[in-house]
Structures are given as structure tokens and as C-alpha cells.
Amino acid sequence: MSDLSVATEELPPVAPALKVSSTDVAVEMVDVNKWYGEFHVLRDINLKVMRGERIVICGPSGSGKSTLIRCINRLEEHQKGKIVVDGKELTNDLRKIDEVRREVGMVFQHFNLFPHLTILENCTLAPINVRKMPKREAEDIAMHYLNRVKIPEQANKYPGQLSGGQQQRVAIARSLCMNPRVMLFDEPTSALDPEMIKEVLDVMVGLALEGMTMICVTHEMGFARQVANRVIFMDGGQIIEQNDPVSFFTNPQHERTKLFLSQILH
């Protein structure tokens, strides 16, 4: 783990761009509770993410951090409490859920690209069919974002022909094509070989610099230090501690946080 985070620590500091100017709320969770059967995975989660904020969520495995961000676009259903995304409350109303998903991009640990479609088709599918964009325009936008993640030359290949890092960059481009207002990252680098992690993190840092609202579940502490406004530590389905990255890493308050940090930062 330590040698992985070294890669990002070498990146230049980007502090000036990280000030959150906006005061409107992108995501708000109030007393959110969730159970898997009898198992209480999320306990009284209260979280407010402002537009333009970059949140990193970390914690040991099984702490509920993935479940938390999957609740934000309702890949998981919460049983108690209130989740409001971009002004829309998530309930059983399928229309609201689709509206929210349109505005919230998500990047998964295992990329989840569609293997039967080319890279370009992966990127244009949702703009064409969900946003009803003309094919030409969707392709132009897709090429723009593929350029941004630095793989325009792969546009006509299939996902299976790309490396893991390339696939994850395509997945980011695919989400960006929908012009989302919030991006969720669910351990985007955990399934990658060490030398591919940097290329994905570079793209994420670039995105952060442009002011994208980001909520990232990741163990890349270098990334957290560099771009996060706030680091959240979860354990046992609860938010144990949250703080700005400097205070979080240098002066953790909770015993559990100290233990966790001592284990992942040598």
C-alpha cells in the first residue's frame, strides 16, 4: 500500500485551486440507516457535500464506505433517513432515481465497461439513449473526453483489448460524457496493477482541479492529501471522524483512526 501512495505524493501540490466557493449543497444525507437483512451496515450517517467539494472516504474493509456511496445513486436502497442529491430526494419513485443517476457519474472498482461495445460506443450509449443527443454530437463529446483521459486512439477497440488502467480511464470518460454534476469513485484503483494506478489518479486530480464535485472511496492517501477538502474515516458503518486532510493525517483524534492510519502509512 505504501509504495502505491508514493506515486501520487510526487505530484505537485495543488492547494490554491481547492477552495470551495459555492454554498449550495450537492449531496445531503440525514440520519441514513441501512441493513443487509439483520446486519446494520450504515448507522446514522449524516453527511453534507457542497458543490465543488472533494471528499475522500476511507476505512477498513466492511466499514460500509462502498455501501454509503452506492446509496447516493441508489444502487443500494437505504431503509431509514433521507438522501437528497442535487435537490432531489431519493425515494421509491423511479423517475427521481433515473433523474439522479443522470446527474451522478460513477466509477467502479472493476470498471464495468460493456464488453460487447467499442470504447466509443461505451461512451456514447448513455448520451444518445438517455440524454437523447444526436449521434454525431455524442461522438464528438466522447472523443473530447477520450482525449482528456489520453486514449483517443483506442476509440474503436473493445474493452477486452485494453489494459486495466486504460479501461478505468475509459470508465471515467464514459461517466464524464453524461456531464455529471457529482462524480462517485468506488475504489477506482484497487483492481489495478501498481504502474497503472498513477495514470488513473492523474486523471482524477485533473478532474478535481476543474472543480468537479467528487466523492471517492479510496485508500490512496497521497491522493487524499493532495486534492481532498475533507477526509472521512468510517468504521462499523459509522462516520468516526472527518477533518481536513492535513489535520486528519497529522492529528487524528479517534483511537480507531490512529490505528488505521498507522497500518496503512508506514
Partner 1 sequence: MNAPSQTFVSDVIIPAQAPPRNSVGINGWMRKNLFSTPLNSIMTVILVVFIVWAVTPFIRFTLIDATWSGADRQVCLQSSGACWAYVKAYLPQFIYGRYPIGERWRVDLVFWILVIGMVPMLIPRAPFKRLNAIFLLGIFPVAAFILLTGGHYQFAGRLIPNSIMPPSPLRFAIEFGIVSAVILFFVGLFAWLSGRPIAGSGNVVGTILAGIAAVLALCSIDFGLVPVETANWGGLLVTLVVAITGMIASLPLGILLALGRRSEMPVVRLASTIFIEVWRGVPLITVLFMASVMLPLFLPDGVTFDKLLRALIGVALFNAAYMAETIRGGLQAIPRGQYEGAKALGLGYWQMMRMIILPQSLRIVIPGIVGSFISLFKDTTLVIIIGLYDFLGQIQASANDAKWASPVTGLTGYIFAAMVFWAFCFSMSRYAAFTERRLDRGRR
Q: How far is the CB of 178 from partner 1 (least distance, A)?
A: 6
Q: How far is the CB of 24 from partner 1 (least distance, A)?
A: 22
The strands making up 39-50's β-sheet, listed across from edge to edge, are 39-50, 25-36, 80-85, 88-89
Q: How far is the CB of 193 from partner 1 (least distance, A)?
A: 18
Q: Which is nearer to partner 1, 175 or 226 (CB)?
A: 175
Return the residue matching grid coordinates 497503472. Answer: 196
What is the DSSP-derived secondary structure letter of residue 242?
Answer: E
Q: How far is the CB of 161 from partner 1 (least distance, A)?
A: 6
Task: Give me the residues that bind partner 1 (CB under 8 A), please.
Answer: 73, 75, 92-95, 98, 101-102, 104-106, 108, 110-116, 125-126, 129-130, 158, 160-161, 174-175, 178
Nearest in space to 200 (alpha carbons), one of 246, 236, 151, 244: 151
Q: Which is nearer to partner 1, 64 or 180 (CB)?
A: 180
Q: Which is nearer to partner 1, 27 or 231 (CB)?
A: 27
Q: How far is the CB of 94 from partner 1 (least distance, A)?
A: 5
Alpha-helix residue ranges (DSSP H) falling in the chain: 2-9, 65-72, 94-103, 119-129, 135-148, 164-176, 194-209, 221-227, 245-250, 255-264
Are 46 and 29 within 8 A, CB to CB? yes
Q: Which is nearer to partner 1, 171 or 221 (CB)?
A: 171
Q: Which is nearer to partner 1, 44 or 103 (CB)?
A: 103
